[in-house]
Structure 1
Amino acid sequence: MSETVQMSARALDHGASWVDPLHDGPEAYRTPEERPTLAEAQAWCKQLAGSHYENFHVATFFLPRAVRPHFESIYAYCRVADDLGDEVSDVRVASRLLAAFGDMLDECYDAPERSRHPVFVALRETIVACDLPRQLFLDLLIAFQMDQIKTEYATMGELIEYSRYSANPVGRLVLMVCGYREEPLGLLSDKVCTALQLANFWQDVVEDAERGRRYLPAVVMERCGVDEGQILGRVFTPEFRLMMESLVGETRAMLREGSVLNGLVDRELAVSLNLFTNGGEAILDGIEAQGYDVLRGRPVVTKAKKVLLLMGALGGKMRASLGGGRRR
């Protein structure tokens, strides 16, 4: 019997007097009545990461083995919070679940012995080992709460502000886990993370529209002569192409400005960061190769391109192993 199943089975042996703060959420994320051990909690986070995002394991493979559990606990926190917001159809219930998750985060910092959810049992170990500030985790919850009430954006500035909460904290947590706390590096990471967030928005225009969300800035649409009906109607015009070309160009410039970071960290971390920045470039290349027509289908990174990215990362890891040391 797996550790995760054992943990769930023990919880069923208890009475129903205790009320799980996440009882209205997805069943897979409900809190066991009995606190899991650290090993069980870390196994739960590792299993969650592996079952939801294969690229996560590809990226973390290139990091030192000792820090991988920390990345898995951070990913699990992000994954569960994101799903509490996105996988619950009732906005009021989703907002309540996210608020409860925030309370559980506070408990993890202020009274960790009371934490029962595997995310927070594992995350506590990461917080202490890496001295991670609470605010970065709270910022992520702000983004998920924003998703419940804000479904369209007027300006690029609003999108950048959203990315400050939805994406940038993850990059800063990655740096801190790897021992980097300098603000200039954090600012470069913010550029990369914001650019990756924007690249995902440009890639998912139709999918987001079908979910009632629009991340294309209204000001840019108006300036280029594009209206919202074109998105759901999938009406591609020269004006839409011009808009997407401008957005992709601005995003690519931001990504390249931030990627200076990759040359300022140790070689092992640089390999993973290069994999992410190259992946962002590949998304933007895919949009460009499609003639900027994101309305006819979601641009994807081809398998051949993924193989090339992976081969490049493997070569980088080998060079890092041979070279060693930090670039400071």
Structure 2
Amino acid sequence: MSRPAPTDVAPPPTHYENFPVASWLCPPRLRPPIAAIYVFARTADDIADEGDATPAHRLADLHAFRADLAATAHGGSTSGRWPQVFGPLGAALLDFALPEPLLADLLSAFVQDIEKTRDGERYTDRAELLAYCARSANPVGRLLLHLYGVDDAASLAQSDAVCSALQLINFWQDLSVDLRRGRFYLPLADCAAHGIAPAAFDDFRPLGAAPPERAALALVAHEVAWARALMQQGAPLVHGLPGRIGWELRLVVQGGLRILDKIEALDFDTFSQRPAVGAADAPLLAWRALRMRRQSVR
């Protein structure tokens, strides 16, 4: 297996994220594997989502990417197409025994995204959407817990709740982007409960269109409350993790909650604008992270 020199570290993230990635809070020895996981997931996500490639082309590339993952995990030769991914990841797999199935789950979620968008399929209910989150987001948290040697059932369940909440937050944050791309994550059962036909979003128009109907805003408020409750369910994990990882997770939790605050401040209209956390939010996030108590995450 080809391995990078010990000083090689994956480049810092260049995409916007709601939470820190391999920050200075991480122990130095864990920064390379965490960065390798991030670059793996980010590159696969770009294959699935960026540019103007056809669905068939994206699926073929993800199939090749999956084959390279299998080759890397089992000491074989890769295609050589993504050396910046599988060089550092190979070292992480070897040195930290990262579970390959968790990495493969991420790829299966990207494949599902492409196929559902291609076929115009939608999520029936929250259970189906959470099943997607179990492969699109939860593996990242479990991989990080693996690096820190945490594997008890309670911690894994709380990690899953935090990661699924972050995925849901990203959905409700990105409505103005995803609807334009034909991606639809609002559960059909929730749409029906608010008297909204999914076809109402088919002719989605960006900023400058007529304001969304109150029912649509109420629907987003309903989804935001769900994501907040799920985050609160998993947030006690910050008190059960030792040292730096606990502080890192505090910022992750608070970053997600801050996005929900910003969605609420927009009267839940993320159909026409996309809120984001930035440098100006850092003092507030640090203060909220410092003040987190076992009884509350706010």
TM-score range, shorter chain: 0.7 to 0.9
**Residue 241 of structure 2 corresponds to residue 241 of structure 1:** no
Q: Where do 1:264-279 residues align within 5 Å?
A: 264-279=240-255
Q: CA RMSD in A?
A: 2.4
C-alpha distance in structure 1 between counterparts of 2:162 and 2:254, whole Å: 11
Question: 1:185-207 CA distances to partner (integer Å, 9 max, x unpaired)?
Answer: 11110000000100110111121
Q: Cα 1:177–1:115, aligned 2, differ >3 Å: closer, same or farther? A: farther
Aligned positions, number: 278
Partner of 1:304: 280
Partner of 1:68: 31
**Among 151, 156, 159, which residue is 1:186 paired with?**
156
C-alpha distance in structure 2 between counterparts of 1:238 and 1:51, whole Å: 36
Q: Secondary structure at the match of 1:60?
A: coil
C-alpha distance in structure 2 between counterparts of 1:266 and 1:115, whole Å: 39
**Which of structure 1's runs of 4+ aligned residues deviate more than 4 A?**
53-59, 112-116, 310-313
**Among 81, 90, 106, which residue is 2:54 paired with?**
90
Contact 2:25–2:245 (8 Å) recurs in 1: yes
Structure 1 stretches lacking a partner, 5+ long = 1-34, 317-328
Contact 1:41–1:121 (8 Å) recurs in 2: no
Structure 2 stretches lacking a partner, 5+ long = 292-298
Partner of 1:226: 196
**Residue 247 of structure 2 corresponds to residue 251 of structure 1:** no
Task: Please say which of residues 121-130 and 229-238 is displaced more in the overlay.
Answer: 229-238
Partner of 1:118: 84
**Structure with greater Cα Rg:** 1
Larger % of helix: which? 1
Deviation at 1:306, TM superposition (A): 2.9
Contact 1:36–1:118 (8 Å) recurs in 2: no
C-alpha distance in structure 1 between counterparts of 2:147 and 2:79, whole Å: 22
**Residue 139 of structure 2 corresponds to residue 150 of structure 1:** no
Contact 2:18–2:255 (8 Å) recurs in 1: no
**Residue 266 of structure 2 corresponds to residue 290 of structure 1:** yes
Deviation at 1:302, TM superposition (A): 5.5
**Residue 103 of structure 2 corresponds to residue 134 of structure 1:** no
Q: Cα 1:40–1:145, aligned 2, differ >3 Å: closer, same or farther? A: farther
TM-score for both structures, normalised by structure 2: 0.85
Contact 1:168–1:190 (8 Å) recurs in 2: yes
C-alpha distance in structure 1 between counterparts of 2:89 and 2:182, whole Å: 33
Q: Secondary structure at the match of 2:101?
A: helix
Identity fraction in percent: 35
Task: Please say which of residues 122-131 and 231-240 is displaced more in the overlay.
Answer: 231-240
Question: 1:189-235 CA distances to partner (integer Å, 9 max, x unpaired)?
Answer: 00000001001101111210101111111111111012345541454
Deviation at 1:131, TM superposition (A): 1.8
Contact 2:47–2:62 (8 Å) recurs in 1: yes
Deviation at 1:59, TM superposition (A): 5.3
C-alpha distance in structure 2 between counterparts of 1:106 and 1:149, whole Å: 22
Contact 1:60–1:71 (8 Å) recurs in 2: no
Deviation at 1:305, TM superposition (A): 2.1
C-alpha distance in structure 1 between counterparts of 2:163 and 2:29, whole Å: 24
Contact 2:22–2:35 (8 Å) recurs in 1: no
Letter in 1 for 2:37: I
C-alpha distance in structure 2 between counterparts of 1:98 and 1:113, whole Å: 17
Deviation at 1:128, TM superposition (A): 2.2
Question: 1:119-161 CA distances to partner (integer Å, 9 max, x unpaired)?
Answer: 2221122112222111001100100100111133221111101
**Residue 32 of structure 2 corresponds to residue 38 of structure 1:** no
Contact 2:125–2:190 (8 Å) recurs in 1: yes
